[in-house]
Structure 1
Amino acid sequence: MDPRSEVLLRQAELFTGSVLLAGLPADDLLHNLPDASGWTWHFGDHRHLGQRFGARTTFGVTPPEAETDTAVLFLPKSRELTDYLLATLASRLTGKLLYLVGEKRGGIERAARQLEAFGKPQKLDSARHCQLWKVRIEQPVPAPDLTSLAQRFTLDLADGPLQVVSLPGVFAHGRLDRGSALLLEHLDGLPSGHLLDFGCGAGVIGSWLKRRYPASQVSLMDVDAFAVEASRLTLAANNLEGSVFAGDGIGDAPEALVGIISNPPFHQGVHTHYQASEELLRQAHAHLERSGEIRIVANSFLRYPPLIEQHLGSCQTLAEREGFRIYRAGKR
């Protein structure tokens, strides 16, 4: 059981009736709170919860429409995303209670101050290295417009400007990270066919691929609903077409790809998490055509070349800069 869930269950009498658990972990909490429902923007968690609890969980960037007696937000990593989530939950809870739970090392004490926008926060519990806070929503709160919270910026690339629309919570929100910048410089000469931007974030790589290779089919995939929505917005801002969808790792990717391009994620919340990246390297061959290849950017300290050579073929280092390396491997 996730320690944040354990803290909630210490106060289980507070969470009877219809409770919306926003950003809940994929554990047994819904089993212990039989009248509660879940809302998540992590596709892997949604799939796991859906297999056990069916329609009691929803996935997306907005909460389910059904009325609820109260709501609990499991603190995300991003402060901007926390602002949006608190506001969108508070807009449905006038006169009711909104709870916030999170790990101390995740910044729960700082985040609790964000509750002051809605009332006077009160700490209810501190255990399992987590804290539980509440606030009563005394005044009506307008529902936030997610797209109005987007950060829009222009990348001046070698082949012309690219418009980017980044949403709260998306990796490298409002900027181009150094790894992706380096990767963009080493994407020439890709085979013609179906290309995948794996872990697409705000859609920078996928949009560039579609512009550079207009005859190719381009798909963009991410585990995060806010990244999926941001990628759709970025494609639209550049008058480009692509298939954008949520997936929990390379197993959800299409087959018969000629190229998998990725700045693979290795953080989940406040935790370092390499599983998705390592599974990508182990399973990419099953999704590539015989002439297909993979190009990724990774921190220099990560020992990816042996894994790439074990499962794909000879690994080339195309570039190295500022602690990042670009790796390329063709399917053998």
Structure 2
Amino acid sequence: MSHPKELIKCVISGATDRVFQCRPMKTEEDRDYRAACKEWIFGIPRGSLHLHSESWENNIFFREDICRMYIQGQFLLAPTFRTYLDTLVFMEQRAGLTDRDENDESPRRPWSALAPNGGPYRYVFIPFTDAARKLQEECKMQPQTADDLNYGKHPRGKDLLVGSDAFPVVECYAHPFAVATHADKTFSRRRTSMMTAQWRSCTADIVDQWRCAEIKPPQWFVDAPKFGLDDVDLSATEASGYDPSTSQDNTVREATTAVADRLADPVEPRTKVSSWLGKINLEAKPVEEESPPSPRKLRRSTRIAALSSPYASSPPEFYAPLSPIRRAPWPSARGRDPIRYTPAWAKRNGRFPTRRFSSNDWAYFQYGIALAARSRS
């Protein structure tokens, strides 16, 4: 989701001058099946991973020197234990990813719906160099809370090591999926102690959901046409497959001829456009066209309308999300605040949105926010 410009500041120092944008998750490294796993878990259309990698969920803003240190792996940000648990609960219970029928093509909840009220998320700052440790003193970061530390218990059941609360917390809008991806790579390049291994195991658990295909996408999703794929995106070799009479030799010959024709024509396209524009009478009146015929007035008889094929509408061939109903009943006090009172549909996997979804339901489905909730002072 979008955020105002006031939020474009260094997440560690708070600086607003010379702020650099960093994308912790790189998508060009993903193979096709791993990309499909990510897209399924992220709740986005097939083939749209490269587009969503440019969203707010994959952006962190740092001061120039801090950005350089982050890229070099002098420190990392790892989800707090609470953020880690919330992320797993979202994937396993609230995103509509698991326990689905194989042919269930209903939407999943997008990754933007994870954070309550749109974020921000909380991450532990783990330094590896002296320069990174100095940032803790310079920037006065906030300490971890008891909730961040899961009240002294590691998510795998053991007690946390003494001193686990020494790492400060950084808040930002970058998604745990993206931040955990970068943290997992940094952990693999740095020596891990018993202390930092507590967060490394949690980070690996998140990344393993798509790296090891622990949550597998159904085959219909893997085989689905990729987002934006049409004839324009096809290469010359692929496009020739539509014409059975076209051979490889003809394709090469036609391509060579086309290049030669372009080289032989010295007139630039802009010159041609200017020449054409000079021949146009800009003061001429537009040609009047006949208005389209008025639509045929339908008969009022429902019996005849039911028997007449022009009035019958064919059912949709694929599932399409319905738009919010225009006059939904005003929700109850509990229904107005789905953040505090989780709706029943959010506890199911698949087969939502429903026909009774209001705009308030859609806002919570997509972004985890409540439109109708009363503001708290």
Scaled to the shorter chain, the TM-score interval is under 0.3
Structure 1 or 2: larger helix share?
2
TM-score by length of 1: 0.24
* Higher Cα radius of gyration: 2
